[in-house]
Structure 1
Amino acid sequence: MESKRSKYILSGLTLLCILLIGITSLKDGILEPLRTGVGYFLIPIQTGVNRVGTGLYNELTDLTRLKTALSENDSLKNQVAQLTEENNRLQAQQFELNRLRQLYELDQEYMQYNKIGARVIARDSEKWFQVFRINKGSADGVAVDMNVVADGGLVGIVTDVGANYATVRSIIDDSSRVGAMSVDSSYNCIVAGDLTLYEEGRLKLTDFSKDAVLKDGDQIITSNISTKFLPGILIGYAVDVTIDPDHLTQSGYLIPAANFDNLQEVLILTDLKEGEEVANQ
């Protein structure tokens, strides 16, 4: 049975081949209708196949482009992260350079005094640097009552010293009193620390002689008669000075030259004040 079926199949294929050979041997005019019919049938199929092929090709191309874009995006993200880190590092270095340049300028301004630099390592208040510690101590030659400057002016005075640290009380602290004077008039006064008043960026200026002529912005420096503060150090600038009710003295306010919001480096004047003891610091 299988043998007969194979013979029929072989015979059918043979006849199909003979038929195709015969068709190809006919003239083009006879084949034209057949070709046309086949064209009506095959062209739509071919068009659909082409569209599918083109679509698949485009999808594969888009997928390749997407993978490439994602890879490039990851690479760019890494570059951005590296550049951001580098930029932050350079900014930090620039800020430190600016601070050190300011310290150098301050060092030049007070060349008559011996001094060493120190870094602020801690503070007792979360808001301002009213009492803070520095990373230099007795092993570096620091002693109690040495003056401390930063940001162009007087910051405070050393009150306690360890081998490798020292504590500084700033001039804004409530207990601070600094003997001062006006540069222009040479009249003496007192700069009093006041944390409440410093909320407005000011300190109290008292005990000016009624004869002193002061204008807003006049420089106030440490006086020659101060027992602990070296003379001639800029403290700040006088503002709103008026005659007191007793008409014997004048009082007003001082805007500190130093910034007590963000102290990082300071200079310690290692010369100690020598002289007669008087009532004012």
Structure 2
Amino acid sequence: MQEGLSNAGGAISHGIDSRREKKQLLAENKRLNNKVNELESKLTNTRLKENELTRLEKLLKLSKDYDKYKTTGARIIAKGTSNWFSTFTIDKGSADGIKKDMNVIADNGLVGCVISVGKHYANVRSIIDDDSNVSASVSTTEDDMIITGGLEQIRKNGLISFSGLRDTKNKVKEGDAVVTSNISSKYLPGILIGYIAKKDNDTNALTSSGTITPVVDFSHLSEVLVITELKKTGK
């Protein structure tokens, strides 16, 4: 009988130890999960900071590329309903010296221009917007053209359209750089827009139309530079 009681006591003790061990394992598992979550959060924050640093370094390089113009950095705080940045809002406004028609750049070139300004924000229309028109020229030949925005086109193949190119000597080739023109009423001259992707002669045999590969990724924008001077039109 004593042996039976001893065995029973051992079983109870073993059961208590097992429950205690299980409780300890659960606590340790919870602690480890919390640690993993903490490390993953730190890793995510580190990656975000690295990505932000990379973007800011690109903006710094861009400001140096266009050092003949004064610029100020701004963050995008809102955008239109499209997945593309055809219109968006930045976190700087009249209190920061931002004015309507100031040019906006990012990546390696032209994004668009400011269309309205509040005290601490401004709205920007990019060159891919349906209501956008930009006077541009081919950098190698200085032949002028008109670049028209179009969300359908950019969604379809990532390109923007041009028309009215007077290339009478047929010197313009695919891959030629396209920049803002001197004759533009609001865009400062010499800002890179993109590269000729395709050129076709129009039926009038006088002009050409085609498409351009933009240098800006209009599906991913976080920060931009605003050129804080306006085009002088002589008015």
Higher Cα Rg: structure 1 or 2? 1
| Alignment-derived partner of residue 102 in structure 2 | 146
Q: Aligned to 1:235, which of 182, 189, 193?
A: 193
* Secondary structure in structure 1 of the residue aligned to 2:29: helix
Q: Aligned to 1:268, which of 208, 220, 226?
A: 226
Q: Aligned to 2:216, which of 258, 261, 264?
A: 258
1:104 aligns with 2:64: no
Shift of 1:178: 0.8
| Alignment-derived partner of residue 209 in structure 1 | 166
Moved more, 150-159 or 209-218: 209-218
Structure 1's unaligned 5+ residue stretches are: 1-44
| Alignment-derived partner of residue 218 in structure 1 | 176
Tell me the distance in 2 between the aligned counterparts of 1:116 and 1:204: 29
| Alignment-derived partner of residue 187 in structure 1 | 143
Moved more, 109-118 or 191-200: 191-200
| Alignment-derived partner of residue 22 in structure 2 | 66
Shift of 1:52: 6.9
| Alignment-derived partner of residue 16 in structure 1 | none
Structure number with the bigger relative contact order (C-alpha 8 A, sep ≥ 6) is 2
| Alignment-derived partner of residue 115 in structure 1 | 71
Tell me the distance in 1 between the aligned counterparts of 2:35 and 2:213: 46
Length, aligned pairs only:
233
- Measured against aligned partners, the alpha-carbon deviations of 1:20-48 in whole angstroms (never above 9, x if no partner) come to xxxxxxxxxxxxxxxxxxxxxxxxx97x8
* Secondary structure in structure 2 of the residue aligned to 1:145: coil
Moved more, 180-189 or 59-68: 59-68
| Alignment-derived partner of residue 162 in structure 1 | 118
Q: TM-score, structure 1 length as denominator? A: 0.75
Tell me the distance in 1 between the aligned counterparts of 2:209 and 2:195: 13
- Measured against aligned partners, the alpha-carbon deviations of 1:80-129 in whole angstroms (never above 9, x if no partner) come to 11112212211221221121111111111111101111111222333222
Structure 2's unaligned 5+ residue stretches are: none
* Secondary structure in structure 2 of the residue aligned to 1:79: helix
Moved more, 203-212 or 221-230: 203-212
Aligned-residue identity in percent? 40
Q: Aligned to 1:247, which of 187, 205, 217?
A: 205
1:92 aligns with 2:48: yes
Is the contact between residue 106 and residue 152 of structure 1 (CA under 8 Å) also seen in structure 2? yes
- Measured against aligned partners, the alpha-carbon deviations of 1:183-241 in whole angstroms (never above 9, x if no partner) come to 22221111111121111211111122232423333211111222211111111121111
Higher helix share: 1
Q: TM-score, structure 2 length as denominator? A: 0.88
Moved more, 235-244 or 211-220: 211-220
Shift of 1:154: 0.5
Tell me the distance in 1 between the aligned counterparts of 2:173 and 2:21: 72
Kindly report the root-mean-square deviation, in angstroms, between the aligned alpha carbons of the 2 structures: 2.3
Higher strand share: 2
* Secondary structure in structure 1 of the residue aligned to 2:37: helix
